[in-house]
């Protein structure tokens, strides 16, 4: 790697994005632990507030992603935007389909599973796109 490559702002931005993402997910993990512990040891309305701690920590994610999106080039921004649209639409299809399955007797699922389903679709889109563009 040349000195010029190491000094590119994209390298610095990538490190900052990784750090910011790590902070959000670290706080999220910590909040899950505190929330689980607090729910077992708290009664009444305080349980609702404690149960929302992970969501508050997770609320930092849109800021981190938006900041990253403003910094990347147009090609990467379009690819990420397309993966998010693809993921949003397919997650909607899965959610509606499973809603009908619940009506037929399938076990109810927590809304917590929406995020992992969306991420599977985002990553799938990005991987297939990269393989196709080779």
Tell me the domain boundaries of the chain: 1-72, 73-134
pLDDT at 7: 67
Residue ranges of the alpha helices (H) in the chain?
3-6, 9-40, 46-51, 53-58, 61-71, 74-103, 114-132
Handedness of CA 64, 34, 55, 95 (dihedral sign): positive
Supply the pLDDT for residue 8: 75
Give the pLDDT score at 3.
Answer: 55
Angle (deg, nearest 10), helices 9-40 and 61-71: 170
Cα→Cα distances 54→20, 30, 81, 107, 128, Å = 16, 8, 25, 24, 31
pLDDT at position 73: 87
What is residue 34's predicted lDDT score, i.e. its pLDDT?
94
Whether the Cβ atoms of residue 54 and residue 33 lie closer than 8 Å to each other: no
Single pTM value for the model: 0.73
Mean pLDDT, 10 residues at a time, over the chain (134 residues)? 64 86 93 93 90 92 91 89 95 96 95 91 93 87
């Amino acid at each position: 790697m040349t000195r010029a490559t190491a000094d590119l702002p994209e390298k610095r931005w990538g490190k900052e994005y990784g750090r910011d993402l790590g902070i959000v997910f670290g706080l999220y993990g910590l909040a899950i632990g505190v929330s689980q512990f607090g729910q077992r040891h708290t009664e009444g309305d305080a349980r609702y507030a404690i149960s929302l701690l992970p969501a508050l920590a997770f609320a930092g994610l849109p800021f981190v992603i938006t900041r990253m999106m403003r910094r990347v080039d147009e090609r990467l921004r379009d690819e990420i935007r397309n993966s998010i649209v693809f993921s949003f639409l397919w997650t909607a299809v899965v959610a509606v389909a499973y809603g009908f399955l619940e009506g037929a007797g399938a076990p109810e699922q927590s809304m917590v599973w929406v995020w992992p389903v969306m991420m599977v679709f985002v990553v799938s889109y990005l991987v297939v796109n990269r393989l196709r563009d080779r």
